[in-house]
């Protein structure tokens, strides 16, 4: 999509960086955002656009923003722009919800629940998950969102499913990729996983192991935010 730009990857999560390094069969470097920015500076770039692949503007996104601000303030003639995460507006929420609900398995019936499984956060931006749930129910009365941390919590969502007499639920990640939280906290046979708790409540859980970044329509939202950051860079407006 951006043929005139050099694209490099960096990972804000130390856990992810260590796992990628362990899985790598070569000596390739898995950079943090700060390491990647330093390399751009050393390679004589003077303009860099950083695109967040976070879902909300929570703690990790704000740490990334702080890194960029600090780096930019300490490098003369080095310009940086930051693309926003996936969900930063009601319009983003409605787009993501619409794309997810339109890609449900064909065998899902109106009596089946759909439970989207998000990370959650006690950062104030975590309130976005409550807004997502509110907007979901406008589109589908049996669509829910729950989180690993924070609200909406698992027990309240399962309670609603039991009250409605739901016997089957599709479990779908509301995270960028299928990582540990999806594998262990959503889909595993551990007694405290979402699937196991549903089973205890008499509800069959069917996991769809596909992250948000595997949905082309949702990826376009991130790319729209990147395009907006590029425009800010070109217009020399407030960039971070």
pLDDT for 25:
65
pLDDT for 128:
93
Q: Is residue 134 annotated as a catalytic residue, yes or no?
A: no
List, for residues 78-133, the tens digit of each pLDDT value: 889 999 999 999 999 999 999 999 999 999 999 999 999 999 888 888 899 999 99
Catalytic residue (choose from 119, 123, 134, 181): 119
List, for residues 35-48, the tens digit of each pLDDT value: 999 999 899 998 89
Both 224 and 198 in one domain: the answer is no
List, for residues 59-82, the tens digit of each pLDDT value: 999 999 999 988 877 776 788 999
pLDDT for 70:
87
Domain that residue 208 falls in: 104-213
Both 43 and 77 in one domain: the answer is yes
Is residue 130 a part of any domain in this protein? Answer: yes
For 58, residues 6+ apart whose C-beta sits below 8 A from its C-beta are 121, 123, 125, 126
**pTM for the model:** 0.90
Contact 221, 96 (CB under 8 A): yes
| Domain count within the chain | 2
The answer, yes or no, to whether residue 238 has pLDDT greater than 60, is no
Both 209 and 109 in one domain: the answer is yes
Both 206 and 220 in one domain: the answer is no
Is residue 128 a part of any domain in this protein? Answer: yes
Q: Identify which has the larger pLDDT, 2 or 210.
A: 210
Residue found by looking up tokens 């935010």 in the block: 225
pLDDT for 233:
84
> Nearest CA to 199 among 179, 238, 169?
169
Give the CATH number for residue 202: 3.40.50.1400
The answer, yes or no, to whether residue 56 has pLDDT greater than 90, is yes
Work out the percent of the chain whose per-residue pLDDT is above 90: 73
Mean confidence (pLDDT) of the chain: 91
pLDDT for 76:
66
Residue 129 in tokens: 């998950």
Both 135 and 196 in one domain: the answer is yes
pLDDT for 236:
67
Residue 233 in tokens: 């860079």
Both 108 and 203 in one domain: the answer is yes
Is residue 83 a part of any domain in this protein? Answer: yes
List, for residues 176-202, the tens digit of each pLDDT value: 999 889 999 999 999 999 999 999 999
């Amino acid at each position: 999509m951006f043929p005139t730009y050099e694209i490099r990857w960096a990972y804000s999560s130390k856990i992810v960086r260590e796992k990628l390094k362990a899985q790598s069969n070569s000596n390739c470097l898995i950079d943090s955002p700060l390491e990647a920015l330093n390399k751009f500076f050393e390679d004589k770039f003077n303009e860099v656009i950083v695109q967040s692949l976070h879902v909300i503007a929570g703690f990790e996104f704000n740490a990334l923003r702080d890194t960029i601000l600090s780096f930019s303030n300490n490098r003369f003639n080095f310009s940086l722009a930051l693309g926003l995460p996936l969900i930063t507006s009601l319009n983003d929420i409605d787009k993501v919800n619409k794309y997810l609900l339109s890609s449900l398995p064909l065998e899902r019936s109106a009596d089946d629940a759909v439970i989207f499984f998000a990370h959650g956060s006690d950062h104030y931006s975590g309130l976005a998950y409550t807004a997502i749930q509110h907007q979901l129910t406008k589109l589908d009365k049996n669509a829910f969102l729950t989180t690993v941390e924070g609200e909406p919590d698992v027990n309240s969502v399962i309670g609603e499913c039991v009250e409605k007499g739901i016997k089957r639920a599709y479990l779908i990640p509301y995270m960028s990729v299928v990582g540990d939280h999806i594998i262990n906290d959503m889909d595993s046979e551990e007694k405290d996983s979402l699937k196991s708790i549903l089973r205890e409540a008499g509800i069959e859980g069917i996991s769809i192991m596909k992250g948000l970044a595997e949905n082309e329509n949702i990826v376009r939202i991130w790319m729209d935010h990147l395009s907006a950051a590029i425009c800010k860079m070109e217009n020399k407006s407030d960039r971070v």
